[in-house]
Amino acid sequence: MNEPIASTSFDAQSGANAPLEKVAIETYVPPSKPSLVGLSRAEIAEELAAIGVAPAQRKMRVQQLWHWIYVRGASDFEEMTSISKQMRIQLDAHFTVARPEVAAEQISSDGTRKWLLRLPSGDSLEKAHEVECVYIPETDRGTLCVSSQVGCTLNCSFCHTGTQRLVRNLTAGEIVGQIMVARDRLNDWADRDTPSGGRLITNVVMMGMGEPLYNFDAVRDALLIVADNEGIGISRRRITLSTSGVVPNIIRTGDEIGVMLAISLHAVRDELRNELVPLNRKYPIAELLQACRDYPGSSNARRITFEYVMLKGVNDSLDDAKLLVKLLKGIPAKINLIPFNPWPGTRYECSDWEQIEKFSEYIFNAGYSSPVRTPRGRDILAACGQLKSETEKLSARERQALRAMAMTD
């Protein structure tokens, strides 16, 4: 699983060697009875062969399992009534179709839902790990924000998730499993009615805990399942992968996954981005933007989103806006301005709304779409940059501070 290599670089501001990336402290230990969730068709066929399913039956069994798992959301082999009883017993003896367990659910005053998901492990001595997954309902779509790591590889200074250790990468099954859990909780499978008559989860964004491109293989395998027309069936144009700038894997994302790309930019000068996104010391802005220019399939119809969190007195001047427009020249782009979502202990503040509007207006007049993202789920710590595993519990003082911040929005 593409584990990051620990590296350090001299930080001119602190005069110390600051780590750019964290190293995972654990590796995944599969349970004794593995789940078929997250396996490709070829991998399911291999598993069936290993338990003695005859070659002549495998293709049919794979098709049946794929339909029951990803179209109808079966959580138990007993539900799969088109498969013979004897085969169901055989499957149940060796596998599960389990997804992560919902340890807690919070529902924001704005309808946003956050699930704390507990991940099973085959290591009886290992504490069960947890990740967060967020569903954001809107009038014209429903977006699911999915995690790729327990913790995060990176140390972005404004991001709550970045304050955590990197415990380990998620498997493809644990990534796909988040979408399946959300469909379970929302009753959003294809054979069930929803209040709107349409699907509730229409979009997926890899913007939860972790840096997706430091877990490339698992993220790729999971998203190919999510986009499969005979399964979960979410179009690649409705799947967005967000990266802080792992340049070597950006082109691979376009070639091997083909989803929409979002870049967590947040600064237009290397010296500031080195502080906000320390990975910039390894892959500076010019190198990152060249990878965006070379991104396969980008066009005016498939623009790259540049995420820019608005930090008061840090990156929100009109000079910053002018340089941003200059830097993105020639890239099919839209710029997503994100009001900073405060979290207990942060040293940053959100830009004043008047300044955000001026910044947005300049970018819009330069010919770029520049929507200002409406903060969602702040009262349950579910907004952009706020996700943090419940494994690292907030203190009572932190929770009090959080409630106070939510009330002032």
Q: Decide if 384 is catalytic.
A: yes
Which long-range contacts link 184-193 to residues 24+ away (Cβ below 8 Å)? 184/73, 184/75, 184/99, 185/102, 185/105, 185/113, 185/115, 186/135, 189/71, 189/72, 189/73, 190/71, 190/72, 190/233, 191/71, 191/72
Sequence-distant (≥ 6) Cβ neighbours of residue 354 within 8 angstroms: none
Q: In this structure, how many other beta carbons lie within 10 angstroms of the beta carbon of residue 102?
A: 15
In angstroms, rounded to a whole number, what is the distance separating the alpha carbons of residues 259 and 392?
A: 32
Distant-in-sequence, close-in-space partners of 47: CB < 8 Å, separation ≥ 6: 36, 39, 94, 95
DSSP one-letter string for 243-281? ES--GGGHHHHHHHT--EEEEE---SSHHHHHHHSGGGG
132 labelled catalytic: yes
H or E stretch covering 291:
helix 285-293
Q: Alpha carbon of 323 to those of 100, 213, 249, 310, 405: distances in Å?
A: 44, 27, 26, 15, 32
- For 313-352, give one letter per residue: b (16+ CB within 10 A) or e: ebbbeeebbeebbebbeebebebbbbbbbbbbebebebbe
Catalytic pick from 132, 174, 211, 307? 132
266 dihedral zone (left: phi>0; alpha: psi -120 to 50; beta): left
What are the distances in angstroms from CA 367 to CA 176, 293, 318, 338, 359? 37, 18, 16, 19, 13
Active site residues per annotation? 132, 384
